[in-house]
Amino acid sequence: MKLLRWIKKFFLFCYYRGKYWPKIWDQRAIMEYSAKELHKCRGLGLTHPEIRDAVKQILDLKLGELVLDIGCGGGGGLKLCDEEKVPAVGIDFSYEMARLTKNAIHYPILNADIRYLPFRHGVFQKIICHGVLHYVPSKDIELALREMVRVLSPGGLIFIGDLPKKSAKRNWWGFQTTFFAREELENLARRVSKRIEFVNLGRNTLDFILK
């Protein structure tokens, strides 16, 4: 059984190699996760209860606030919203990931890309973007940040958690990921928002808030 699984994985790997990120996440959703097991999965950032608790403190969710979880993946961010009893919407550019998570959580999830958010201006009070920016081509990072600021309501807060440049050595599966030095990301973020604040979650990541 295990051997069959590995053979299947190998063929899928060959098929998807050289294709693009949404397909890779489709494949991961199909092969690695099940709706039931999703929240136990350690490979998807906010599914870690410790990370989720730290982010929960930062977000300080209040009743009546509407949250957008961008690149919701396994739905860890949405679970956080559920725990705080606030309404939320998730988006993920992997159709399969969105579908899988939709089966596991009661929030609406759309199949959409961070660069072109299908929402009107200023509708969300809080936005979560965790472990997503490094999949966006570097030329589009500013566009992604602008889109988040566009859909944020005045006085709202965006939490961004991502990987630091140190991890850039690995070109996972032959795909290019975008990694940032703190200053690079800070400069980009300052172009779209005046108020940016780095937060220390006690881990080796770049975590910051945009207002």
Ligand X SMILES: C[S@@+](CC[C@H](N)C(=O)[O-])C[C@H]1O[C@@H](n2cnc3c(N)ncnc32)[C@H](O)[C@@H]1O
Residues that bind ligand X (CB under 6 A): 21, 25, 44-47, 70-74, 76-77, 91-94, 97, 113-114, 130-132, 135-136
Q: Which is nearer to ligand X, 76 or 156 (CB)?
A: 76
Q: Which is nearer to ligand X, 136 or 151 (CB)?
A: 136
Q: Which is nearer to ligand X, 155 or 202 (CB)?
A: 202
What minimum distance in Å lies between the beta carbon of 1 and ligand X?
27
Query: Phi/psi of residue 189, each to 5°?
Result: -65, -35
Residue nearest to ligand X (CB): 73
Sequence-distant (≥ 6) Cβ neighbours of residue 186 within 8 angstroms: 196, 198, 208
The answer to whether residues 125 and 67 touch, using CB atoms and an 8 Å cutoff, is yes
What minimum distance in Å lies between the beta carbon of 77 and ligand X?
6
CA 68 – CA 91 distance, rounded (Å): 8
What minimum distance in Å lies between the beta carbon of 55 and ligand X?
9
Amino acid in position 164: P
What minimum distance in Å lies between the beta carbon of 190 and ligand X?
22
Q: Which is nearer to ligand X, 70 or 189 (CB)?
A: 70
Beta pairing partners, 91: 70, 110
What minimum distance in Å lies between the beta carbon of 2 and ligand X?
25
**Which position has the token pair 């009743």?**
63
Q: Which is nearer to ligand X, 48 or 211 (CB)?
A: 48
CA 164 – CA 63 distance, rounded (Å): 33
- CB-CB neighbours of 211 under 10 Å: 14
Sequence-distant (≥ 6) Cβ neighbours of residue 168 within 8 angstroms: 177, 179
Q: Which is nearer to ligand X, 65 or 69 (CB)?
A: 69
What minimum distance in Å lies between the beta carbon of 7 and ligand X?
25
Which tokens belong to 211? 């207002």
Q: Closest by alpha carbon to 79, among 118, 29, 38?
A: 38
